[in-house]
Structure formats: structure tokens, C-alpha cells
Amino acid sequence: MSGDPRPVGEDDLHGLIDGRLEPERQALVEAWLRGNPARAAEVSADRALRERLRARLAPIAEEAIPARLRVANIRSRHRPITGRWLPVAAAAVLCLAVGGAAGWFGHAARQVPTVTLARTEPATDDAVAAFRTYVVEAVHPVEVRADEKPHLVTWLSKRLGRAVTTPDLTAYGFRLMGGRLLPAGSESAAMLMYDDDHGTRLTLYSRVGDADGRTVFRFAREGDVAAFSWVDGGMSYVVTGRTDEARLLTVAQAVDAQVRGLPVPPRQP
């Protein structure tokens, strides 16, 4: 057994899931998990999700880089450069190639955004709590129903101080039921609720976030409730539902595209 004195932390658990630990550290972490069955169950679930996501994203990773982005073709479009500038020119061509390839994979990422596994955070905790509270309501699941959508959008946008959109998820089997306003500390949050023909409900929770940048999708599960969360343009978004991760990821992907005004990714079969 390793004499590594470091305690087992989140980096170790993610490293174990990704297969990145040194053998001795892996043995130590696995031994620690045997004494912590709750965390062992979480790691097992995260491993299973990773494999499902890897299988789902495999077609994107296998796509060939377009000919226009290959090094030889980029080099041929530039005049030969000799003398002392040759090393600089070669470096520039390499940067263009790497940048172009990154752009190509960035294009793929816009279709299937990067996902990371994460423990729950405040916005996700609040979204899941709201989901559990209101999704079971038969009479008053929402405050304003979908047939009053213009009023719903205006009301929520005014209270949040940001433009609120109501993504169209009919192509994914879900229709808008309506929405409600929720407290979020000293601020407000908006929750939109959707359902399908089988009685499955999901919610889109949004509120002003703490950062102005953009994050990858973060997956979390609390019992039978799954959630994908992300931050974009100063807003936090959480899509929550009792459905499988693949379907929820597809929905979150469509929501993200619509709130950003981008083309909606095609629905996966």
C-alpha cells in the first residue's frame, strides 16, 4: 500500500473515474472507497454516466478534420518563406493548424457541449428543491400558464432584470406548462415547467449568476432526480427532471442553444 500521506479528495475520485491515477494512488483510493460505501456508490454512478456520454459523443470525436484545416493544405496557401524567417513561419503554420482544429472541435462542442461530473452547487440545489416541491402539484404546478406566455415572459424578465425566454422543446417531446417566480436569496429566480405525453415533467430554473463567463455542462444527481447546470452570460441555468441522462442532456443542449439565439442541435435518434 502506498505511503502517500495525502487524504483522498475530489481530484482523486475524478482521477479514478477517468483512469488517470498512478497504480499506488489508485489502490489507496479504492481502499478508501471500500470504507465509504456512499461515496463508492456515487463513483460507480459517475463511471456509468461517463461511459454512456462517451458512447454518445463518440461519433463527434471520430469525425475527420476538414481538408482545409490540415497542415499541408494550410501551408500550400502561403508563399514559401526562406532565410531566418522560416522557423517563425513554420510556427505560425502550426499555430494555424492547431487553432483550426480546435475551431473544428469547437464546432462539434456547440452541437454536443462538454460535460463534467460535479457535486451539487447552490443553484442546482435550489433548482432540485423547487422541482421536488412543484412537480408533484396537480392543480397549481405553475403560477402563470402557457396560454399566457407573453405575460409570463414579461413578468419574469422584469423581476429578474434579464430577458427570460421560453425554449420550445416540442421537438424533444416536451411542451410548456407555464412558470413561476421563486426566491433566490436577495434576488429572484424563474422556473419554467414542461411535460410530455407520459406525464414526465422537467423544469428550467434560471437566475442571475455570479460569473460573466461560460462554463461547461455540469451533471448532478440527487436520488431519482437528475440535473444539468451551466453558466452563460451572467445567468445560471439548471435543467432538472426524472429522466435518463442522455435525454436530459439533449434537452439541456436545446435550451442552451435557444437562450443564446443559436440553431437548435438536431435531435438524436
pLDDT (mean) for 73-81: 54
Inform me whether the pLDDT recorded for 150 exceeds 80: yes
Torsion, Cα of 213, 216, 241, 190 (10° steps):
0
**Could you report the per-residue pLDDT of 206-217, keeping only the tens digit for each?**
999 866 788 889
pLDDT (mean) for 116-129: 76
Contact 174, 196 (CB under 8 A): yes
Q: What percent of the chain has pLDDT over 90?
A: 43
Compute CA distances 215 → 102, 231, 263, whole Å. 17, 5, 19
Inform me whether the pLDDT recorded for 232 exceeds 80: yes
**By three-state DSSP, how is residue 16 classified?**
helix
The confidence score (pLDDT) of residue 171 equals: 93
| Whole-angstrom distance, CA of residue 267 vs CA of residue 42 | 29
Confidence of residue 60 (pLDDT cuts 50, 70, 90): low
Top-ranked range on mean pLDDT: pick from 24-28, 92-96, 247-251: 247-251
The confidence score (pLDDT) of residue 174 equals: 96
Element (H, E) at 194: strand 187-195
C-alpha cell at 135: 412537480
Which is more confident, 109 or 29? 29
Residue 231 dihedral angles phi and psi, to the nearest 5°:
-125, 135
C-alpha cell at 69: 484545416
The confidence score (pLDDT) of residue 74 equals: 58
The pLDDT mean for the chain works out to: 79
Which residues partner with 237 through β-bridges? Answer: 206, 230
